[in-house]
Chain A
């Protein structure tokens, strides 16, 4: 699943490790979510959105640009 987690994290000057600690997962899990190789649970999506001060839409909603 494509998402804006990586770009938002970088904009917030956070490392993968810091974000992982805030939401209670491992750094590997954050890396996998950013690469779109793992679809997080709704609870984890909410925790990520809260940590990054964004809405779920801003982080995970795919807009078709075609």
Chain B
């Protein structure tokens, strides 16, 4: 079936079907949440920026969350050895991201001048890294569990 969304979908037909479900569920939840926010707007004064940000966040968190929990990201991880190897790759990728981001920040933006600036940039970097690591870790764990059952 030809559709402009095809470029966003994986080649594997099971994954493609699942992703279409997640996008559709996300779109319906987004639609319902917009109706709720429209009703709420009659009683409280909702800021436009907040509403737009919430709408984007709802859709993104839902689709990403479903994808992570579905355990279909790491389709070939079915043995303990492969699991440990992939976990090492995730750790190295996260540490690599921290180092590269920090290096690029110090070279192209500036060296933080005060303790507050250091805390700000390190806080942001650590938060992003932790979220990225945890999402990959949960996805890997779920995929491993699912694949083991399918052997």
Contacts and interface: CB of A to CB of B under 8 A. Distances in A.
Interface of A: 16-17, 24-29, 31-32, 34-35, 38, 40-41, 44
Contacts, number: 40
B11 A28 contact: no
Tell me the interface secondary structure of chain A in the complex.
helix
B14 A38 contact: yes
Contacts of B15: 26, 29
B10 to A, nearest CB: 9
Given A32-B150, A35-B150, A27 B14 contact: no
A40 B13 contact: yes
21 contacts: A16-B150, A26-B12, A26-B14, A27-B76, A27-B78, A27-B147, A28-B14, A28-B75, A28-B76, A28-B143, A28-B146, A29-B13, A29-B14, A29-B15, A29-B75, A31-B147, A31-B150, A31-B151, A32-B14, A38-B14, A44-B13
Contacts of A34: 150
Interface of B: 11-15, 72, 75-76, 78, 143, 146-147, 150-151
Contacts of B75: 26-29
A26 B24 CA distance: 23
Q: Considering residues B14, B15, B75, B78, which has the most beta carbons from chain A within 10 angstroms of its beta carbon?
A: B14
